Amino acid sequence: MRRAFRWLLAACVAIATTSAALAADLRPLVQTMGSGGYAGTEKALNQLSEAGDPAAVPVIEALQAGDLYVRKADGLVVIARKAGAGFALTDPLSGAVVGEAAAGAIDKIKINNALRRSISATLGALTLMSPDPATRRSAAEAVFKSRDANALDALNTAIAKEKDERIRRVMEQARAAVILTAGASEVDTQAAIATLTARGDRDALALLSMIAASGATDALKTAAAGAVAAVEQKLMFWGALQNLWYGLSLGSVLLLAAIGLAVTFGVMGVINMAHGEMVMIGAYTTFLVQQGLRTYAPGLTDLSILLALPAAFLVSGGVGVIIERSVIRWLYGRPLETLLATWGLSLALQQAVRSLFGPTNREVSAPSWMSGAFELGGLTITYGRLWIVVFAFAVFAALLVALKRTWFGLSIRAVTQNRPMANAMGIRTARVDALTFGLGSGIAGLAGVALSQIDNVSPNLGQSYIIDSFMVVVFGGVGNLWGTLVGALALGSLNKFLEPYAGAVLGKILVLIFIILFIQRRPRGLFALKGRAVEA
């Protein structure tokens, strides 16, 4: 009995000492992370990775986040987080509070790309058994990328334990990647090739082509070459779809930029060279709204884009009304003078914005729901572009309804079709003119909100869209909204179809030549208006 107790005691002591020994093993390693520059940190990280103790995870995570510091006074490695004017220091292993320090008293442990890679590889190997499924999944993806042979044992254990089908599949793919990189028996390698063929994306392709080029045996090489062909074929199909999406996305940007012009130029017949500047003003309004929210209501910053929509519509629309009242109404029926005057106006507006906001770009950050991308089959679709496509069609639909279904739209159509008659019927044509121009400019402002997400918010923003906008409107058919829609999507797709073959520069030139030839054949564009209104 006594003996048994002694055994038990001894076992307890042994367990206690080993866990203490482990922590003690890590501590000197953690301590060396701060010395020797990038190379020193890298070496310490590799040793942590070999030790394979999950206790190191918080340390490595802090290193990744840039929170790991060295206290200058005694060289102690600590986690430092901003607290008031200085930093609050905690022990990286135990999490115990160490004290506080001023910003000058601690040195950040810097990381570079090579270290960032090692960090995600190490974290991946150490968090494969994490209780959180999302962490396990990203750990498996990290190991897939790093192909770290050290992680193989951990992977095998994790695969045996994993309950979630999808996570297990990623883990198996990661194991296949490790096996292909490190080398294994013929049977295992064949199985790995099959696993990766099933994955069938670009990363898998990269690994498979490596084996196809430098496999151990000829049988492996042929198997890999076959897999490469299969994956490539699949990717080609998705590539074509992806190109179609790019075309749709570029088309929707063109549609947004051109749709306001379809009102001012298409419906009213005003050659408005300052149209691009209305877009630019919309983008700057977005910037101002975002700045305002950042200062006064930081919680709402994610909604700034939505709040900027009405603001940009009103600001650009208001500027449009002022321009119509002050300049354009004196120039109706004289296209050449309108062209010159609005061109001068566009330069003046650009320089005004340049003086007001400075010549440098302004940052409009993307809200969280517009950042990043998701995978749809083999397609990569970025949220920002997706929302812009949705938005472009919504604006188009709204404008269509406004023109066809409202009294205001009716007056616009009446005035543009037969001004004296509309006047005789009691429509105040001058006011309708101003409001129509304001509507077109306001829509340009809405385009500015969207473009602030993908382009520079700089005084030159509008310039780069004015030519494209005119091209779309003229190609689609002046005065026809549906023509603008079809024109924008057609030119966008054509551009994206040509780009991979001809390059971006030649692609643009080819599109331009195509439009010139097209206009020669059909001077009134795709959907020409017919009837007496056109002749008038």
Partner 1 sequence: MRHRMTGRVATFGISALAGLAMGAIAGSAQAADDTIKVGILHSLSGTMAISETTLKDVMLMLIDEQNKKGGVLGKKLEAVVVDPASNWPLFAEKARELLTKDKVAAVFGCWTSVSRKSVLPVFEELNGLLFYPVQYEGEESSRNVFYTGAAPNQQAIPAVDYLMSKEKVQRWVLAGTDYVYPRTTNKILEAYLKGKGVKDEDIKINYTPFGHSDWQSIVADIKKFGSAGKKTAVVSTINGDANVPFYKELGNQGVKAQDIPVVAFSVGEEELAGIDTKPLLGHLAAWNYFQSVDTPINAEFIKNWKTFTKNDKRVTNDPMEAHYIGFNMWVKAVEAAGTVAPDAVIDSMIGVSVPNLTGGYSAMLPNHHITKPVLIGEVQENGQFETVSKTPGLVPGDEWSDFLPDSKDLISDWRKPLSCGNFNVKTGKCGGKGS
Q: Looking at beta carbons only, is 239 or 318 nearer to partner 1?
A: 239
Least distance in angstroms from the C-beta of 411 to partner 1:
28
Enter the tokens of residue 392.
Answer: 């472009």
Cβ neighbours around 245 below 10 Å, total: 18
Q: Looking at beta carbons only, is 28 or 183 nearer to partner 1?
A: 183
Q: Looking at beta carbons only, is 260 or 477 nearer to partner 1?
A: 260
Helices (H), 201-217: 202-214
Is residue 453 within a helix (H) or strand (E), and if so which, with residue range?
A: none
Of the candidates 181, 57, 70, which has an alpha carbon nearest to the alpha carbon of residue 128? 57
Least distance in angstroms from the C-beta of 202 to partner 1:
4
Least distance in angstroms from the C-beta of 454 to partner 1:
6
Least distance in angstroms from the C-beta of 396 to partner 1:
19
**102: CB partners within 8 A, 6+ apart:** 85, 86, 87
**DSSP 8-state code for residue 135:** H
Least distance in angstroms from the C-beta of 178 to partner 1:
15
Per residue in 107-144, is it b (16+ CB within 10 Å) or e — as a string? Answer: eebebeeebeebbbbbbbbbbbebeeeebbbbbbbbbb
Of the candidates 264, 443, 431, which has an alpha carbon nearest to the alpha carbon of residue 342? 264
Q: Looking at beta carbons only, is 417 or 463 nearer to partner 1?
A: 463
Q: Looking at beta carbons only, is 27 or 117 nearer to partner 1?
A: 117
Of the candidates 103, 66, 69, which has an alpha carbon nearest to the alpha carbon of residue 85? 103
Rounded to a whole number of angstroms, the CA Rg of the chain reads: 32
Q: Looking at beta carbons only, is 148 or 162 nearer to partner 1?
A: 148
Answer yes or no: are the C-beta atoms of 316 and 452 closer than 8 Å.
Answer: no
Q: Looking at beta carbons only, is 350 or 480 nearer to partner 1?
A: 350
Of the candidates 184, 181, 177, which has an alpha carbon nearest to the alpha carbon of residue 203? 177
Least distance in angstroms from the C-beta of 5 to partner 1:
55
Q: Which residues lie near partner 1 (CB under 8 A)? A: 38, 66, 110, 112-114, 116-117, 120, 145, 202-203, 205-207, 209-210, 213, 239, 242-243, 246, 249-250, 253, 331, 334, 337, 340-341, 350-351, 354, 358-363, 365-366, 371-373, 380, 382-385, 453-460, 463-464, 495-496, 499-500, 503-505, 508
Q: Rounded to whole angstroms, how far apart are CA atoms 108 and 35?
A: 11
Least distance in angstroms from the C-beta of 468 to partner 1:
10
Q: Looking at beta carbons only, is 350 or 469 nearer to partner 1?
A: 350
Least distance in angstroms from the C-beta of 169 to partner 1:
20
